[in-house]
Structures are given as structure tokens and as C-alpha cells.
């Protein structure tokens, strides 16, 4: 499969979509579009803040939305109420286009509770499941720690990591559903299959760069400094 066949876009909330939304500008979420240029099919990862704007970008690129992938249930990724604000997300998106929403089994109840999207619109998965968009294959990797059903997406040489892993640091484990020991396992075991040559695409712009190699991340990100679970818990276990 040629690199040119893969459709991949990284959008920044407050800049590319949701430009008039104060929370979108403050949170600096990344939204991802992945698809097959040959068939024109695409999915969106974490379509918060501006569903219509996301669809407009897809239409400008002559791509057709066929599904949603949710990294986790937090409203800045899927919509819902946060910090006294109501954030648009997957529920509003489904009013524009009827597509399935792919979540990990452990996250389905939480996504439904936060968004009210309804279980009929959710397709639940286990770690290692794969979905295809045209002929583009995306592997779903269950990475609990930030939330019980957090998931990352591996497509060719790219890892879309949501709030599991940033270029510097990782997702918080002190929020409801967080678990520092599970986060350690996710970073060191569940993501061990991702090669150093792969590019990490995080869920927020928390660093000067929007992406970097997994090798550079493992070398310089302080969350990989502990050499054991005990050291990790001493540093990050709270």
C-alpha cells in the first residue's frame, strides 16, 4: 500500500476547527482524520468542539465520513459538559451524519453517560481489534490508566495516542477511572509493540512540536525513566 493512499490529517482545536470556541483554544485538542484516498472513506478520532467544521474539511478534501474512533470518554474528546461549559461532540455529529462510534468495551458506559449518545450507536472492541477504512487498516490498542477504556490507534507507521501518551508526560491518573499502575503497564507493555520508528501523534498540543518519533519519546520523556513498576509508583503513584 502506497503512502499516498493514506489520508491522514492532524487538526488543532481553536485553530483548524472551533476557532470561535474559547475552550477549544484553551484545551488545544488534536482531532485526527484517517482514510483511504482511493475510496474516499475516512474516520475521525475525537470529534469535539466543531462537528460541522470537521465535516466541512472532509468535504473539501473529497472524503466521506464513515465512522468515529473515540480515544476515551472525556468531554474535550467526545463532547459533554466540562468546567461549566457544554462541548459539542459525537452526539451533534450524529445529527449530521449516521456513522458508528468505535470504543473499547470498558469505555462504552462512560461514553454513553457523558454524551448521551446511546448504546445502539456504539461498537465495542477489545485490544488488538482492527477496523478497515477502505483498505487502510487501523489497530485498536487498549491502554488503560488515564481512563479504564482508553485506547490508542496504530495505522501504518503512526500511533494516535489520545491522552495515554504525550511527547512530554502522559495522561493524568488521578481523575475518576485513572490508575497509575495500569498506566505503567500500558506505556511499557501494551505499547511495546510500537516500533521506535513510528511517529507519535498525541491528544493535545502540550509540547512545541505536534509529533515526534516513538524512539525520541522513549529516550527523552520522563515517564519512561523508571525501570520498574515500583519506581514508577514511587514517582507517579500519588
**What is the DSSP secondary-structure string of 124-180?**
EE-TT-EEEETTEEEEEEE-TTSSTT-EEEEETTEEEEETTB-SSSB--SSSTT--H
pLDDT tens digits along 164-206:
999 999 999 999 999 999 999 999 999 999 999 999 999 999 9
- Please check the confidence at residue 107 and state whether its pLDDT lies above 90: yes
Contact call for residues 24 and 18 (beta carbons, < 8 A): yes
Burial environment of residue 144 by CB neighbours within 10 A (0 to 12, 13 to 18, 19 or more):
buried
Which three cell numbers mark 139? 489497530
Is residue 238 predicted with pLDDT exceeding 90? Answer: no
Closest CA to 143 of 155, 158, 156, 126: 126
Average pLDDT of the chain to the nearest whole number: 96
- Which has more pLDDT, 7 or 85? 7
Domains of the chain: 3-236 (3.60.15.10)
pLDDT for the residue numbered 111: 97
Kindly tell me the sign of the dihedral angle through the C-alpha atoms of 16, 22, 26, 30. Answer: negative
- Number of alpha carbons in the 13 Å side-chain half-sphere of residue 76: 20
pLDDT bin (cut points 50, 70, 90) of residue 2 is: low
Identify the pLDDT of residue 236.
Answer: 87
Half-sphere exposure of residue 159: CA atoms within 13 angstroms, side-chain side? 28
pLDDT at 237: 82
Task: Check whether 3 has a pLDDT greater than 80.
Answer: no
Checking if the pLDDT of 75 tops 60, the result is yes
pLDDT reading at 11 higher than 60 = yes
| Cα 220 versus chain centre, distance | 22
pLDDT band of residue 84 (cuts 50, 70, 90) is confident
Is residue 1 predicted with pLDDT exceeding 70? no
User: At 60, phi and psi to the nearest 5?
Assistant: -60, -35
- The DSSP annotation for 20-78 comes to T-HHHHHH-BEEEEEEETTTTEEEEES--S-HHHHHHHHHHTT-EEEEEE-S-S-HHHH
pTM of model > 0.95: yes
Q: pLDDT tens-digit profile of 126-135?
A: 999 999 999 9
3-state helix, strand, coil in the chain (%, to 5): 30, 30, 40
Amino acid at each position: 500500500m502506497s503512502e499516498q493512499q493514506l489520508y491522514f490529517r492532524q487538526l488543532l482545536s481553536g485553530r483548524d476547527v472551533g476557532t470561535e470556541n474559547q475552550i477549544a483554544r484553551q484545551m488545544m485538542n488534536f482531532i485526527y482524520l484517517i482514510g483511504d484516498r482511493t475510496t474516499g472513506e475516512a474516520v475521525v478520532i475525537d470529534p469535539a468542539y466543531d462537528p460541522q467544521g470537521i465535516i466541512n474539511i472532509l468535504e473539501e478534501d473529497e472524503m466521506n465520513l464513515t465512522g468515529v474512533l473515540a480515544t476515551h470518554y472525556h468531554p474535550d474528546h467526545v463532547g459533554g459538559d466540562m468546567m461549566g461549559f457544554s462541548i459539542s461532540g459525537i452526539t451533534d455529529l450524529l445529527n449530521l451524519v449516521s456513522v458508528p462510534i468505535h470504543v473499547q468495551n470498558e469505555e462504552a458506559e462512560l461514553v454513553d453517560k457523558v454524551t448521551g449518545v446511546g448504546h445502539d450507536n456504539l461498537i465495542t472492541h477489545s485490544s488488538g481489534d482492527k477496523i478497515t477504512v477502505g483498505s487502510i487498516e487501523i489497530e485498536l490498542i487498549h491502554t488503560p490508566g488515564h481512563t479504564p477504556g482508553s485506547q490508542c490507534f496504530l495505522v501504518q507507521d503512526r500511533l494516535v495516542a489520545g491522552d495515554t501518551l504525550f511527547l512530554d508526560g502522559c495522561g493524568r491518573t488521578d481523575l475518576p477511572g485513572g490508575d497509575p499502575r495500569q498506566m505503567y503497564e500500558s506505556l511499557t507493555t501494551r505499547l511495546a509493540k510500537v516500533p521506535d520508528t513510528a511517529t507519535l501523534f498525541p491528544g493535545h498540543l502540550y509540547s512545541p512540536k505536534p509529533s515526534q518519533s516513538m524512539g525520541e519519546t522513549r529516550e527523552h520523556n520522563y515517564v519512561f525513566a523508571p525501570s520498574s513498576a515500583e519506581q514508577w509508583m514511587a514517582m507517579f503513584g500519588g
